[in-house]
Amino acid sequence: MAIGAAAIARDVDAQTPNEATRILEKAQVTILGETASYTLRMTVNRTGKSPRVVTMDGFKSGDDRGLVRYTDPPKEKGTVYLRRDDNTYIYLPAAEKVARVGPKQTFGGGDFNNGDIFRLSLTRDYEATLAGEETVNGVPCHVLELKARNRGVAYDRVRYLVRKDGTHFPCLAEYFTISGKKLKILRTDEVETLGGRKRPTRMIMESALETGAFTELKFLKIDDRPKLDERMFSPASLERER
């Protein structure tokens, strides 16, 4: 009997990573689909400073193609971020210059980094395991432990919570260094119907290192079926921006 119970426990352990990956796969497409165009408003908050609000149009194609173009305020209009595979570029209209930037660089001066915005496949970058359950704002959630598959990704370890109610909406994520130091906390909420389906429309990334520092991303418009040409996600396209 004891041997049988141990065998069952081993089977559960063996299946847990697959189950975790399955949950993660579902969770990561709840906000944006495989291909999407969207309008986003980013608000960067810092203690003692006025909030900085930027509106942008974004496009994604698969896990490796992303492009974000600032549309407001006028002083920042025309700034473009591009992600293609493992390469990230920025076009700065004032300097009329295209520059490569690192994946861990801050996105737009806020608390998200380029990897958070453009590295869209968590299942590819992280190995997921189920690590129990927790309740967040009264909603039971799966707790997933994500460990980076390589050092090139944005974070070494992520504690990722996904709603158990069948929606698979992500609700909370905590990001850690390899030594276990907590860097950031991400909260996902404001479930609304946008682009024809219900989804979380707000993400708040809070710095665990700087008191009062947090950045809000609010989706204003989402289209899950845009027609996008693969060639718009090319660094050469940024040189044509001017």
Q: Are strands 87-92 and 197-207 parallel, antiparallel or unpaired?
A: unpaired
User: If binding is defined by CB under 8 A, does position 62 make contact with another protein?
Assistant: no
Residues between 142 and 171 that touch another protein (CB under 8 A)? none
Give CA–CA dist 70/56, Å, rounded: 4
Number of chain positions touching another protein (CB under 8 A):
42
Applying CB under 8 A, among 29, 139, 143, 228 the residue interacting with another protein is 228
Cβ proximity to another protein, 46 vs 182, nearer residue = 46
Cβ proximity to another protein, 13 vs 96, nearer residue = 96
Question: Residue 194: CB partners within 8 Å, gap ≥ 6?
Answer: 201, 219, 221, 222
User: If binding is defined by CB under 8 A, does position 181 make contact with another protein?
Assistant: no
User: If binding is defined by CB under 8 A, does position 15 make contact with another protein?
Assistant: no
For residue 115, CA distances in Å to 81, 130, 183 come to 12, 23, 14
User: If binding is defined by CB under 8 A, does position 106 make contact with another protein?
Assistant: yes
In the complex, minimum distance from the CB of residue 55 to another protein, in angstroms, rounded to a whole number: 10
Q: Are 67 and 61 in contact (CB under 8 A)?
A: no
Q: Are 54 and 64 in contact (CB under 8 A)?
A: no
Residues between 32 and 61 that touch another protein (CB under 8 A)? 46, 48-50, 53
Q: Could you give the 3-state DSSP secondary structure of residue 8?
A: helix
Cβ neighbours around 187 below 10 Å, total: 19
Identity of the residue numbered 87: N
Q: Could you give the 3-state DSSP secondary structure of residue 13?
A: helix
User: If binding is defined by CB under 8 A, does position 184 make contact with another protein?
Assistant: no
Cβ proximity to another protein, 123 vs 237, nearer residue = 237
Residues between 72 and 101 that touch another protein (CB under 8 A)? 72-77, 84-88, 94-97, 99-101
Q: Are 187 and 200 in contact (CB under 8 A)?
A: no
Applying CB under 8 A, among 109, 140, 196, 212 the residue interacting with another protein is 109
In the complex, minimum distance from the CB of residue 124 to another protein, in angstroms, rounded to a whole number: 16
Interacting residues toward another protein by CB under 8 A:
46, 48-50, 53, 72-77, 84-88, 94-97, 99-106, 109, 228-237, 239-240, 242
